Structure 1
Amino acid sequence: MLAADFTRFNDAHLRHSLNGPNPTTLLNAQTESAQHLARSALAIVDTLNAQPMYHSPAIHAVYARVRQLAHLASDAADHLIDAVDLLDHTRAGLPVELGDGFLAVVTEQEARRGAGRCFSLVASLTALGSSDALATAELFAVERRRGFVPEYRPPALSRTQDSTLRAVARGDVAITGGKPYLRREDLRVSISTIRALESRGLVMREDCPAWGRGERVHLTAAGRRDLAASFARPRSTAPAAARPPARPAATAARTAAR
């Protein structure tokens, strides 16, 4: 899923700085990851092209959003390549372009500062990739399933579980010190909800390389399927607690969007 790939890229990016002895190794690795993101987004465009469908305004918006994600990832890769070139040329004593075609030999400290600016720009380019990818998948699913009742009905989720599943898909949920760490202040996620989703095989934990976070919570294949199914149906509110507690309302539908 493209959203999860953006999350992993951003986590790896946040972990590192260019102060180490060999920053080009990090920059080259992130360049490959950014290029992979761009290829993945363009592959989605190819998949869309292969599907016979009416190109409504919503579908046109889906195309535009996916292409924008590809461009952002490609631009990120270009900035990382620029950073590598700046460091390599400086190390070799070669002049570098400082703008408007002006060439000069810079110090290693100046080169690292310039590479650092490229590195920071990449973080801003890809920061919203996960949430944008998720929103685009939902837009596509809702439009394609308009007027249809999806066949697949996953097990019911409470409203809290459903919102947590979406937060996980956006890359907003990590765990540190046994407690959820949330990127957005308006979110409330409990460890018990995460464990409940884990017990149902909908989410999993991965080691998270970003600063201060022990584990990142990601969707499993089943979690992606069930979340995608919910896109085609309005989210319902779980019934109020009773004695015995009532089962939560179902929120299900089927879509092939990833």
Structure 2
Amino acid sequence: MSAHIPHTQRLARTAFTVAHHLNSMRGVYRSHDIRMASDRLKQLAHLALGAADHLLDAHDLLSVARDRAEQADAPAPHHALWETGRRLELVRQLTAHGAQDCVNTSALVGGEFHRQRLLPAQPSSLSAAQQAALILTGLGHVSVDSLNDKAHTSQNGTRLTIATIRSLEARGLVTREPVILHEQRVHLKGDGYGALTAVLAHPRRTAPATALPARPAHTANHSRTR
């Protein structure tokens, strides 16, 4: 629990910093989308700060309950455990959509930078599968089973290959972090943040067959007739 506190605090600081840079960048017209992106970043920062506070409270509550239980040679008080669980649930609620909000904000900034001709005319030379994997990684949906050397995603119906993840690692765009047992979570790294923004600013012409499932034909036809 305590290990997550500095990560949450760092997220808040980073969000505030990016919002400040976005507002102070020279040559950038502060359009509606730029202002919206700045507001979303500040909102994310405040949510992260709230989550950090609840984590600190939960850690303190659990520490006090554990100390008292050891002194009395008895289980930790039920109310302390309940209150700790309540704080952790609040943390989950505050951060549940953080990754999606970050990706949506990146799409706003990338699209606006593209319209203002602040990005290259062409996206980076990533394949469709690599682009899809980069987006899913930004959303926090990608993990690797190191025991079987297989890539997994929490997106239903979406497939990723370990070769795609390795290709992004070789470019320095993603990295892995051990989570539990043999599961490794895949995160964006270094140039991966800029690469993701570029990908979002230049939508793919076609969806990759091995990474993002196509919409069923009957659904697409139904949408056109509405």
Q: Which of the numbers 34, 47, 53 marks the counterpart of 2:8?
A: 34
Q: Which of the numbers 66, 73, 84 marks the counterpart of 1:115?
A: 84
Aligned to 2:102: 133
Q: CA deviation at 1:228?
A: 2.6
| Cα pair 2:57 2:87 within 8 Å, conserved | yes
Cα offsets for 1:74-110 (capped at 9, x unmatched): 11112123324434555687xxxxxxxxxxxxx6232
Residue identity matched to 1:169 = G
Q: CA deviation at 1:213?
A: 5.4
Q: Which of the numbers 217, 240, 257 marks the counterpart of 2:186?
A: 217
Q: Which has the higher helix share?
A: 2
Give the unaligned 5+ runs of structure 2: 69-75, 210-226
CA–CA separation in structure 2 for the residues paired with 1:149 and 1:63: 17
Give the unaligned 5+ runs of structure 1: 1-25, 94-106, 241-258
Q: CA deviation at 1:49?
A: 2.6
Aligned to 1:197: 168
Q: CA deviation at 1:199?
A: 4.0
Shift of the 214–79 alpha-carbon distance from structure 1 to 2, 3 Å rule, reads same
Q: CA deviation at 1:155?
A: 5.0
Shift of the 218–141 alpha-carbon distance from structure 1 to 2, 3 Å rule, reads same
Residue identity matched to 1:139 = L
The alignment yields a C-alpha RMSD, in angstroms, of 2.9
Shift of the 57–151 alpha-carbon distance from structure 1 to 2, 3 Å rule, reads closer
When normalised by structure 2's length, the TM-score is: 0.74
When normalised by structure 1's length, the TM-score is: 0.66
Shift of the 41–223 alpha-carbon distance from structure 1 to 2, 3 Å rule, reads closer
Shift of the 222–155 alpha-carbon distance from structure 1 to 2, 3 Å rule, reads same
| Cα pair 2:132 2:208 within 8 Å, conserved | no
| Cα pair 1:174 1:215 within 8 Å, conserved | yes
CA–CA separation in structure 1 for the residues paired with 2:189 and 2:64: 43
Q: Which has the higher contact order (CA 8 A, sep 6+)?
A: 1
| Cα pair 1:86 1:115 within 8 Å, conserved | yes
Q: Which of the numbers 24, 32, 44 marks the counterpart of 1:69?
A: 44
Aligned to 1:98: none
DSSP 3-state at the match of 2:92 = helix
CA–CA separation in structure 2 for the residues paired with 1:149 and 1:116: 46
Find out whether 1:56 has 2:31 as its counterpart.
Answer: yes
| Cα pair 1:72 1:126 within 8 Å, conserved | yes
Q: How many residues align?
A: 199
- Trace 1:171-250 onto structure 2 (pairs within 5 A): 171-176=140-145, 177-207=148-178, 209=179, 211=180, 214-237=183-206
| Cα pair 2:143 2:152 within 8 Å, conserved | yes
| Cα pair 1:90 1:111 within 8 Å, conserved | yes
